[in-house]
Amino acid sequence: MRIRFIFYRCLQHLKGFNVGIARVRYLMDVFRRRYGVVGRVGGMYLAAGFSVEFMHPTKYGPIHVVAKGGGRVFAIEVVEDPSKETIEGVKTFVEKAKSVRAKPILILYANNAKLPTEVYKFCIENGVKVRIIRPSEIVI
């Protein structure tokens, strides 16, 4: 079942700006409860003004988060244990991102996040952005 949560980029057009922020904070909490770590990352992109979709299906498997907004589309994959990430996993993720015409972003969700060297080089060569989010830094 495909579940979509979309929040349109209308915060700057609302007269009651605090109402928009309150709604975003509420949706961030709902995403965190429903999707766990993936929901936290999706909530951060929602707060940045993107509309997000969780577990978008592709023929290679689901993409954790697809974020759209401002003419940009990002395919986001969340990895909780970066040391176990392989080149094959990144190749599959690149194919998933190409199938939805999105820029791939690999999120490392860990305090001590370090990818193996060959995997990191492969990400750089294929245009995958690697971002680190530490669990202690997220405030909801």
Q: Which domains occur in the chain, in start order?
A: 4-137 (3.40.1350.10)
Per-residue model confidence (pLDDT) at position 140: 55
Type of residue numbered 115:
L
56-78 residue pLDDT tens: 999 999 999 999 998 999 999 99
The dihedral built from the CA positions of residue 113, 105, 79 and 84, taken in this order, carries a sign that is: negative
Q: What is the pLDDT of the chain when averaged over all its residues? A: 85
- Whether the CB-CB separation of 20 and 14 falls below 8 Å is answered with yes
| Least confidently predicted of 17-21, 34-38, 85-89, 119-123 | 17-21
pTM for the structure as a whole:
0.81
> Which pLDDT value is given to residue 131?
94
Provide the pLDDT for residue 23: 87
Segment 44-57 shows an average pLDDT of 92
Cα 60 from Cα 46, distance rounded (Å): 25
